[in-house]
Amino acid sequence: MVGENLGEDTNVLILGGEVAPTRKIIEFTGKSGGNYNMMVHPRAARGRRSEKGESVLVRTGDRLFAEVLKTMQQKADVASLNVNINNVKKTSGGDIFIRLKGKGQAQTLKNAIKNKMEEVSVTTRNRGTVFSVIDLDPAVTSEEVKAAVEKQTGLAGLVEIKLIRNTKFGGQMCLLSVPNNKAGKLRELGTIKMGWSACRARERIVPLRCYKCLEYGHSLTSCKGEDRSKQCLNCGGLNHRAQECKAVSKCMACKVDGHRMDTMKCPEYRKLVLEKKD
């Protein structure tokens, strides 16, 4: 998400009792569920983008942006969650992009939205450093990984498990993120002891990704590519997400079948990762 700009869409600012004085508020558009909705000038909002920010992306799918936003505001009671929302934007793909202030808030908000709205797909983005932990045994849970990493690195409360899944070798692997300025601790350690095994933890280098054309190496602001934000990352098809896609992989960057554009199998992607490594 680094350096990403979501375009010139008008921003909808939701204030949970907190007013941001630097913003130029140009229109008050109503009150919903204890939140005041206002339109702000896009430029005023842009200056406030925080490098430390976390964010949540809500995919609207076939539904209308305004409709999903309204349902979300009604169902997920932000005031009771104790999260600080900086702003809510509409992406060029029509999805909802929520920027937050403070650690761990994206996860809290994501969980709240997921619990109340099973029909939408919600992902969190933060600016942490992502590590993959491999060689995990098949019975270990994400809570156990989190506890072990926090204990062995001394980063209590700072480890966020992003996913844990089975590997084709009969074990599990996990992706987790730690704050950028604390990543050194885990990098130094290199392995995490989990029961009988020592599990390797490697930093995962993810190149800058454009959310419009889905290609890597540039951001939305400088994108000259086509708008693929509604397309499946695996096959390029519409109306489904890559997670549920069973079609043959088709790389939209290389225009060939056989690999996804977000894996090391893609020569374009691999090149960017290797460039970033050294």
From the list 23-31, 47-55, 171-179, 245-253, the region that binds Zn ion by CB under 5 A is 245-253
Cα(164)–Cα(90) distance, integer angstroms: 30
From the list 137-145, 162-170, 198-206, 241-249, the region that binds Zn ion by CB under 5 A is 241-249
Position 13 contacts Zn ion (CB under 5 A): no
User: Residue 38 or residue 235: which is nearer to Zn ion going by CB?
Assistant: 235
Cα(1)–Cα(31) distance, integer angstroms: 30
Q: How far is the CB of 266 from Zn ion (least distance, A)?
A: 3
Cα–Cα distances in angstroms (integers) from residue 86 to residues 104, 116, 201, in the given order: 14, 21, 33
List phi, psi (to 5°) of 38. Answer: -135, 150
Alpha helices in 89-172 (DSSP H): 105-116, 142-153
Cα(134)–Cα(167) distance, integer angstroms: 9
**Sequence-separated (6 or more) residues with CB below 8 Å from residue 129:** 177, 178, 179, 180, 183, 203
Q: What Rg do the C-alpha atoms of the chain give, in angstroms?
A: 20
Q: Count interface residues toward Zn ion (CB under 5 A).
A: 15
User: Residue 195 or residue 237: which is nearer to Zn ion going by CB?
Assistant: 237
Q: How far is the CB of 45 from Zn ion (least distance, A)?
A: 22
User: Residue 87 or residue 249: which is nearer to Zn ion going by CB?
Assistant: 249
User: Residue 120 or residue 266: which is nearer to Zn ion going by CB?
Assistant: 266
Position 266 contacts Zn ion (CB under 5 A): yes
Alpha helices in the chain (DSSP H): 42-46, 65-75, 78-81, 105-116, 142-153, 183-189, 267-277
User: Residue 160 or residue 215: which is nearer to Zn ion going by CB?
Assistant: 215
Position 234 contacts Zn ion (CB under 5 A): yes
User: Residue 79 or residue 247: which is nearer to Zn ion going by CB?
Assistant: 247
Cα(169)–Cα(158) distance, integer angstroms: 29
Within 88-127, which residues bind Zn ion (CB under 5 A)? none
Position 217 contacts Zn ion (CB under 5 A): no
Position 147 contacts Zn ion (CB under 5 A): no
Within 156-215, which residues bind Zn ion (CB under 5 A)? 210, 212-213
* Residue from the set 237, 264, 270, 274 that interacts with Zn ion by CB under 5 A: 237
Q: How far is the CB of 174 from Zn ion (least distance, A)?
A: 25
Place of tokens 């964010």: 55
Evaluate whether 257 touches 265 at the Cβ level (below 8 Å). no
Residue 143 has a CB neighbour count (10 Å cut-off) of 10
Q: How far is the CB of 205 from Zn ion (least distance, A)?
A: 17
Residues contributing to the site for Zn ion (CB under 5 A): 210, 212-213, 223, 225, 232, 234-235, 237, 245, 247, 251, 253-254, 266
